[in-house]
Chain A
């Protein structure tokens, strides 16, 4: 299919075939960029209008054009980088721990019938508890520390990976296990390494990716509740009415998440290059 589509796709430089088959790729990209930027400009325009006509309570809406200055200020105050650093520490520990445990427990539950039965009710009871409800215990057990924040994040990430892995294993085509037996790989470990792990890679990795997003959401929420990091800085800034600083932190949160997600999808497409 893809080869055939490639064969009839027009060469990029030929204007004739471009007219027949739609615009060349660079034009589509330029168009996408133009519309995207237009959307941003309109958004900032509405924002500015809201500021001028005071649609929001006075003093709660920062000026979008003042934000670069605020960013520079936050940077110079020496609070920005430590806050980002602190958040990243929580993030990576929570993410790593939650991913590893969620994957491991999900894999064990899906492949070991007795363990599956033993954990079924427990998972049903614990699963609906929102990770943020654990903040109480995080603070009680770990005080206000990195470990506490990582703990809360890990809980959310754990469930995402647990369910992704569990259902990926359940969806492995049993014909591959039959193949494994027919070619001398019928033992638990041989099956696990030659069939289960590669077959669940797409499902498990998409769980990891969801976890990357989920961890970030949980992280900021946990920090808003008192753990040091960007969330706490936002809270502090809001407390003194510095809403421009709040927005700066929000944008940095967005940026860091985007970088993490891009890095992961690069790894993912490398690992899953066998997919059509």
Chain B
């Protein structure tokens, strides 16, 4: 299968830091697949995601985008940990942000906004202001904003870590549905192993100083996944074991 993005021998060192955060990391993400990256805090998960988003230039190595730019779409889109909605735009205006400058006419734009909101179950909220939303709703809008540009790669930086446990489970379930409907590949960063196993086709474990990939697990569990199943628990335990020993 074709890959959408390829990191090769990626290293990153903060300006002025003594040692690199990440050194020599290589990873490919296949089109349409769901890859979760787990690791402790400060291990460079977010750096990896920011490099993929084009928000950080790697110190050495490179990030190659294989996906072809297509008219009316963006190759990648980001869902941030904080929903990062612009408070001065309505929900619909926020979802349309990435569509501006893509050469879409008004009709197409509102069509795309409506269907992104529909997909994330926020269809009735287009005219609300962000401050009127709960944390979980704001995060759905953040996802809708990313989906609206029809990306080949969806980059998600611990998107559910700031919402309560029940909302988080809901959002995780819905993310699977939304991902399958969109056909995009997902790079999902999290510190929650259970979340990674529940969501991903492949879980990549980051560890060490400087960080690199210390384990990679293909999750073969059938969907929808059952968190109570023994196989699920075994998978989580195996990844936790790898994490603890690096």
CA distance A95 to B49 in the complex (A): 48
CA distance A170 to B77 in the complex (A): 27
Q: Judge whether A183 and B97 touch: CB under 8 Å.
A: yes
Q: 0/1 per residue, A143-181, Cβ < 8 Å to B?
A: 000000000000000000000000000000001101101
A182, CB-defined interface residue at 8 Å: yes
CA distance A198 to B77 in the complex (A): 23
Contacts of B86 in A (CB 8 A): 176, 179, 194-195, 198
Known contacts A179-B80, A274-B129; is-contact A184 B87 (Cβ 8 Å): no
Residue among A184, A195, A199 making CB contact with B98, cutoff 8 Å:
A184
CB distance from A180 to the nearest CB of B (A): 8
CA distance A199 to B84 in the complex (A): 13
B82, CB-defined interface residue at 8 Å: yes
Q: Judge whether A181 and B54 touch: CB under 8 Å.
A: yes
CA distance A182 to B55 in the complex (A): 7
- Report, as a range, how many residues of chain B touch the other chain: 20 to 34
Contacts of A194 in B (CB 8 A): 86, 97, 100
Q: Which of B98-142 contact A (CB under 8 A)?
A: 98, 100-102, 129-132
Q: Judge whether B101 and A190 touch: CB under 8 Å.
A: yes
Contacts of A195 in B (CB 8 A): 86
A78, CB-defined interface residue at 8 Å: no
Residue among A176, A184, A198 making CB contact with B74, cutoff 8 Å:
A184
Q: 0/1 per residue, B174-217, Cβ < 8 Å to A?
A: 00000000000000000000000000000000000000000000
Q: 0/1 per residue, B72-88, Cβ < 8 Å to A?
A: 00100110101010111
Q: 0/1 per residue, A233-276, Cβ < 8 Å to B?
A: 00000000000000000000000000000000000000000111
B168, CB-defined interface residue at 8 Å: no
CB distance from B105 to the nearest CB of A (A): 18
Q: How many residues on chain A are close to B (CB under 8 Å)?
A: 19
Contacts of B78 in A (CB 8 A): 179, 182-183
Q: Judge whether A183 and B131 touch: CB under 8 Å.
A: no
Closest A residue by C-beta to B88: A198
A185, CB-defined interface residue at 8 Å: yes
B9, CB-defined interface residue at 8 Å: no
Q: 0/1 per residue, A188-219, Cβ < 8 Å to B?
A: 00100011001101000000000000000000
B149, CB-defined interface residue at 8 Å: yes
Q: Which of A1-36 contact B (CB under 8 A)?
A: 3
B53, CB-defined interface residue at 8 Å: yes
Residue among B84, B90, B129, B132 making CB contact with A176, cutoff 8 Å:
B84
CB distance from A42 to the nearest CB of B (A): 43
Q: Judge whether B100 and A185 touch: CB under 8 Å.
A: yes
CA distance A185 to B77 in the complex (A): 12
Contacts of A3 in B (CB 8 A): 132
Q: Judge whether B82 and A175 touch: CB under 8 Å.
A: yes
Contacts of B97 in A (CB 8 A): 179, 183, 185, 194
CB distance from B14 to the nearest CB of A (A): 16
CB distance from B75 to the nearest CB of A (A): 10
Q: 0/1 per residue, B25-54, Cβ < 8 Å to A?
A: 000000000000000000000000000011
Contacts of A275 in B (CB 8 A): 87, 131
CA distance A201 to B89 in the complex (A): 13
Known contacts A194-B100, A274-B129; is-contact A183 B149 (Cβ 8 Å): yes
Known contacts A179-B84, A183-B98, A190-B101; is-contact A276 B55 (Cβ 8 Å): no
Contacts of A183 in B (CB 8 A): 74, 77-78, 97-98, 145, 149
Closest B residue by C-beta to A193: B100
Contacts of B90 in A (CB 8 A): 274
Contacts of A181 in B (CB 8 A): 54-55
Q: Judge whether B55 and A274 touch: CB under 8 Å.
A: no
Q: Judge whether B84 and A276 touch: CB under 8 Å.
A: no
Q: 0/1 per residue, A78-105, Cβ < 8 Å to B?
A: 0000000000000000000000000000
Known contacts A185-B100, A198-B86, A199-B88; is-contact A178 B74 (Cβ 8 Å): no
User: Known pairs A179-B78, A183-B77, A274-B130. 4 more at Cβ < 8 A?
Assistant: A175-B84, A182-B78, A183-B145, A274-B87
Residues on A lying within 8 angstroms of B by beta carbon are 3, 175-176, 178-179, 181-185, 190, 194-195, 198-199, 201, 274-276
Instruction: List 10 interface pairs A-B (beta carbons < 8 Å), by A numbering.
Output: A175-B82, A175-B84, A179-B78, A181-B54, A182-B54, A183-B78, A183-B98, A194-B97, A201-B88, A274-B87
